[in-house]
Chains A and B, each alone.
Chain A
Amino acid sequence: MSLLQVNQLQVYYGVICALKGISFEVNEGEIVTLIGANGAGKTTTMQSVVGLIPKRSGQVLFDGHDISTTPCHKIVHLGMTQVPEGRRIFQELTVYENLLMGAYSIKDSSGFKQDIESVYTRFPRLAERKNQIAGTLSGGEQQMLAMGRAIMSHPKLLMLDEPSMGLSPLLVDQVFDIIRDINRDGTTILLVEQNAGKSLAISDRAYVLENGSIVLSGTGEELAASEMVQKAYLGG
């Protein structure tokens, strides 16, 4: 069953057309990746689906709701959240307070202790640094915090925008392992990545975005094997 369905989504920045009517879907339990070069429209797709930037036209259905015109904070309450590009953790708050903000949409605070413990188990570094001001964390730790913060809201769909950006190769592997773990624990994942090799390897399905249009789609394996993807994104 499709958890997220995007139909003919168009987004404009002023007169510039950033998304030319793209359609894709994410089924429950899947990891789906959008790959594409800089400026292809990946982040625009992510931000318009979650309601951070306005859609010109098209329809977005999420978990049985039409969220085409729903404001971002209400979409989050429906069970979709995003680890945004550049992490965007709250620099002035502590690690703990950041996680607290992650649980903002959860009205019932009884499960909070358990949730935060499970984040600390998944990301032991965050437990070590829970009272540290988040702005002083390293890039890798900030990515962990951004992911931890996002899963605090129990999303049905977790979107990650370039989670491997700016990280050392060792950390990149770790991030992809964690994404797979989160997925195995029952969260559907929509991933945007420039690191096509690593992301296709963990993806059930993927779409290739070029100049605001989807030009190719298939399973992760199919795309990894396709000549076009190899040439353009895998350096083959």
Chain B
Amino acid sequence: MELFLSTLINGLSLGGIYAMIALGYTMVYGIAKMLNFAHGDIIMVGGYVIYVFMAFHNPLLAILIAVIFCVLLGMTIEKIAYKPLRGASPLAVLITAIGVSYLLQSLAQIIFGSANKVVTVYDFGSVTFLGVNVQISALVTLAITVVVMVALTLFVKCTRLGRAMIAVSEDKGAAQLMGINVDGIITITFAIGSALAALAGLFYLLKAPSISSTLGAMPGIKAFTAAVIGGIGSIPGAMLGGLLLGMVECISYKITAIAPYTDAIEFSILIIILLVRPTGFLGKKRREKV
């Protein structure tokens, strides 16, 4: 029971982080039809910005600056690296994204060095709940994730801008005929995705107060996996995929016999899903328009 409860909380908390990152992947894919492989590295940038501004010993200020910085960074990357390639082959865009990813990692290494930096954003401590010792930071992560997801879902469903995003993801040409500025919507999407990535950076620092230039690489790929499992392009899909992957990871780590193979197990799930249901759990089959 104790094991179950602690695995459940840790799994949901990790899954929440994955879901948060996966949302960035899936929204950008849904709207700009591109895989932004530099997305994971925004997490790392967010982490470093928090690290730098923790010099003022004000966590909220550091987090706020990190979110703003990442939003501006995401919008700048989109404008400089991706926008000129609109209409180019998807492969060119993909390679550019990988290039941006390495650029961000290398820049971080030049600025901060290759040794891990240690920063404690805030020590929430832990509580004992039903005989289980639970990190409060995991609960905080989970709570923020839930709030963000609900807010994002409402935003997309119920606001003019949100509906414009759905319209752009479905048919850019028809969206323009409604008077929607497609470039503007793409920029906003990158901004939202980057803000979520900055929060994910925060959650990683709460989990383990150490940061390196490759902090975002593995979570980025895991979250991409989560987005594909849930159905890339689908917002609820990203949430589902993230939570699922987080749970699988935590359960697998608890079973000694398979713990070392956790990553392999997660990616195997991706392969199986792609074989059985290529559109993911909640992805829709969509005619590609020529």
User: Which A residues form the contact surface with B (CB < 8 A)?
Assistant: 47, 50-52, 71-73, 76-77, 81-82, 84, 88-93, 97, 100-102, 104-105, 149-150, 153
Complex formed: what's the CA distance from A97 to B182 in Å? Answer: 18
The answer to whether A100 touches B174, judged by C-beta atoms less than 8 angstroms apart, is: no
Interface status of B171 (Cβ within 8 A of chain A): yes
Contact status of A102 and B178, CB under 8 A, knowing A92-B166, A93-B163, A97-B163: yes
Question: Which residues from 139 to 176 on chain B have a C-beta closer than 8 Å to any C-beta of chain A?
Answer: 160, 163-164, 166-167, 170-171, 173-176
Nearest chain B residue, comparing its CB with the CB of A53: B173
In the complex with contacts A90-B171, A91-B170, A81-B163 CB distance below 8 A = no
- In the complex, the answer to whether A92 meets B170 with C-beta atoms within 8 Å is yes
The interface residues of chain A lying within 8 Å CB-to-CB of B173 are 47, 52, 84, 88
A73 CA to B178 CA, complexed, in Å: 7
Contacts A73-B182, A90-B166, A153-B179 known; 5 new A-B pairs at CB < 8 A: A76-B179, A84-B174, A88-B171, A93-B166, A105-B178
For residue A88, which residues in chain B have a CB less than 8 angstroms away from its CB? 171, 173-174, 177
Report, as a range, how many residues of chain B touch the other chain.
10 to 19
Are the CB atoms of A101 and B170 closer together than 8 Å?
Answer: no
Indicate if B119 sits at the interface (CB-CB under 8 A): no
CB-nearest residue of chain B to A47: B173
- Name the residue of chain B whose CB is nearest to the CB of A88: B174
Residues of A near B164 (CB, < 8 A) are 101, 104
Contacts of B167 in A (CB 8 A): 90, 93, 101
Given contacts A73-B182, A90-B171, A91-B170, contact A84 B163 (CB under 8 A): no
Tell me the nearest residue of chain A to B160, going by C-beta: A104
The smallest beta-carbon distance between A3 and chain B, in angstroms, is: 18
B163 touches A82 (CB 8 A): no
Q: Judge whether B180 is part of the interface by a CB distance below 8 angstroms.
A: yes
| Most chain A CB neighbours (cut-off 10 Å) among B164, B166, B176, B181 | B176
Complex partner residue of B178 from A47, A52, A153, CB under 8 angstroms: A153
Bound Cα distance from A89 to B175, whole angstroms:
9
Q: Are B174 and A76 in contact (CB under 8 A)?
A: no
> Smallest CB–CB gap between B138 and chain A, Å?
35
- State which residues 166-202 of B face A: CB under 8 Å: 166-167, 170-171, 173-182
A-B contact pairs, 6 of them (CB 8 A): A52-B177, A81-B178, A88-B173, A101-B167, A101-B175, A150-B177
Contact A76 B178 (CB under 8 A): yes
Residues of B within 8 A of A97 (CB): 163
B47 CB to nearest A CB, Å: 36
Within 8 Å by CB of A84, from B160, B177, B180, B181, lies B177
Task: Pick the most buried of A91, A100, A101, A149: most chain B CB atoms within 10 A of its CB.
Answer: A101
With contacts A73-B181, A101-B163, A104-B164 taken as known, whether A89 is within 8 angstroms of B174 at the C-beta atoms is yes
Question: Which chain B residue shows the least CB distance to A89?
Answer: B174
Q: For the complex, what is the distance from the CA of A99 to the CA of B249, rounded to whole Å?
A: 44
Closest 7 CB pairs of A and B: A105-B179, A76-B179, A72-B176, A88-B174, A104-B178, A73-B181, A101-B178
